[in-house]
Amino acid sequence: MAVTELATASTSTRTNQIKKISILPLIFIIFYEVSGGPFGSEDAVQAAGPLLTLLGFIIFPFIWSIPEALITAEMGTMFPENSGYVVWVSSALGPYWGFQQGWMKWLSGVIDNALYPVLFLDYLKSAVPAVGSGLPRVLATWGLTVVLTLLNYRGLTIVGFVAVFLGIFSLIPFVVMGFISIPKLEPSRWVEVDIHDVDWNLYLNTLFWSLNYWDSISTLVGEVENPKKTLPKGLFYALILVVLGYVFPLLIGTGAVPVDRAVWSDGYFSDIAKIIGGVWLRWWLQAAAAVSNMGMFVAEMSSDSFQLLGMAERGMLPTFFTKRSRYGTPIIGILFSASGVILLSWLSFEEIVAAENFLYCFGMILEFIAFILLKIKKPNAARPFKVPGGKVGAIVMCIPPTILIGFVLAFSTLKVMVISLIAMVIGLVMQPCLKFVERKKWIKFSVSPELPDLDNGVTTQDLV
């Protein structure tokens, strides 16, 4: 049993003085956690061609993004704290499964963050070939990670109007490219398809990676100003921004340039910019990609590190994870997340996407179960934002994304499946080990007295 410990007055004062996130920055934080622009979506064209790619980015949000955003809005306003989806699962299924949720989603987030330096270098290598492989690429990856981690340590750098600036700067080149490309557009290219030559594994994983992680903002809800009203609005406007941020550039790229699927891989948008507008536009788009990756990295690391802080406040991790810097950021959480990014930087783009998707799928299954169970077990609990439809509506809404999860898992490679299952087993063993350490009092654990009781007089249900 965790020992409850009162926070010191100085810590509480410093926490209260931290500036909260308002609606406009929140929209762009969600934008970065989910998308950050069309960078990385090129693999979908390589896998399935223009028509299926465009249809995928239009239809997929209805199957996945909207349900996940609605669940995040309801559960995030029901539990406005930094442990996010961990506390959702803990409330419905108990702390053991809450910890598993935290482990899988944190690891998935760290794997996701390992992608952004890789993606940035893939865009840069067309202009600087030296960073394409070998030792220079490794050093560049580590250097980027260190610099962006320092930015993260200095606070939620993406918060405030800096986030708005980064978002606008990332998207403006595509607007310019769109105007320039109008005379070159051939709509017939948009309907090109060869259903017999589709790499379904790459196609589904690219769509899934490009349009998920809506629940990541839940681990920052404790830093949001008036989250009960701000969070649902932020998710709604971010959803529109994300979908347009994919569909519009893909219409340009596939309509203005003859489609050679073999060359459509991460970084190809910069080549399209050169074809359409010249070298100056390619450099501008590469700068936008750099800014976008900077924003995505910082947003994801903020989410991952604050999740560890939230789990520590719930007594699931040692108390030292609750330590904040003078900028309000979780020091230990940032160091753990940065270390994970560096360790995983040797994976390729496709392997990173597949591995994170595999773990993310299992985490989402737990979220769906928690969402439905809390509708059944705690129907009268305060829900500032409520998804309509009640219990039946919740079940129906979770069916399409659950089927999609089945397809994503089924198309996973053996290598990705083995690595992911090993990671899951580590989590299953880690939680009892931490509880043993807590009982022996080798490391200090504590529960923040400012957090509400999860039970509220209602017994939680074990998943078994």
Task: Return the higher-pLDDT residue of 327 and 354.
Answer: 327
Q: Is residue 446 part of a domain?
A: no
Residue range of the domain that includes 42: 21-439
Does 162 map to a domain?
yes
Structure tokens at 229: 């009203």
Please say if the pLDDT value at position 425 is more than 70: yes
Radius of gyration of the chain (CA): 22
Which among 403, 313, 260 is positioned nearest to 4, based on CA atoms? 313
Burial state string for 272-311 with b = 16 or more CB within 10 A and e = fewer than 16: bbbebbeeebbebbbebbbbbbbbbbbbbbbbbbbbbbbb
Residues 45-66 have pLDDT tens digits of: 999 999 999 999 999 999 999 9
Whether pTM > 0.85 for this model: the answer is yes
On whether residue 453 sits in a domain, the answer given is no
| Backbone phi, psi, residue 41, to 5° | -80, -10
d(CA 78, CA 428): 27
Q: Does the residue 16 lie in any domain?
A: no
First to last CA, the chain: 22
**CA distances in angstroms from 29 to 75, 220, 258, listed in the order given:** 18, 10, 35
Section 8-23 average pLDDT: 58
Mean pLDDT of the chain, nearest integer:
85
Which residues neighbour 192 within 8 Å (Cβ) at sequence distance 6 or greater?
49, 50, 51, 254, 259
pLDDT tens for residues 142-165?
888 888 888 778 776 565 567 788
- 39/265 Cα distance (integer angstroms): 10
- Asked whether residue 223 is domain-assigned, the answer is yes
Residue 359: which of 68, 108, 61 has the closest Cα?
A: 108
- What CATH number should be reported for the domain holding residue 279? 1.20.1740.10
Decide if 31 contacts 296 (C-beta within 8 A). Answer: no
Residue 451 lies in a domain: no
Helical H runs in 278-347?
279-313, 331-344
Please check whether residue 360 is in contact with residue 103, taking contact to mean a CB–CB distance below 8 angstroms.
no
Confidence (pLDDT) at 351: 66
Instruction: Give CA–CA dist 257/50, Å, rounded.
Output: 11
Residues 238-286 have pLDDT tens digits of: 999 999 999 999 999 999 999 999 999 878 998 999 999 999 999 899 8
Tokens of 83: 């442990």
Which pLDDT band holds residue 9 (cuts at 50, 70, 90)? very low
pLDDT of residue 53: 96
Closest CA to 87 of 313, 303, 299: 313
Q: Which pLDDT band holds residue 21 (cuts at 50, 70, 90)? A: confident
Query: Structurally, how many domains does the chain consist of?
Result: 1
Q: How far apart are CA 455 and CA 14, in angstroms?
A: 29
Q: Is residue 452 part of a domain?
A: no
Q: pLDDT at position 205, please?
A: 85
Nearest CA-CA partner of 267 in 241, 293, 305: 293
How high is the pLDDT of residue 186? 93
Q: Is residue 459 in a domain?
A: no
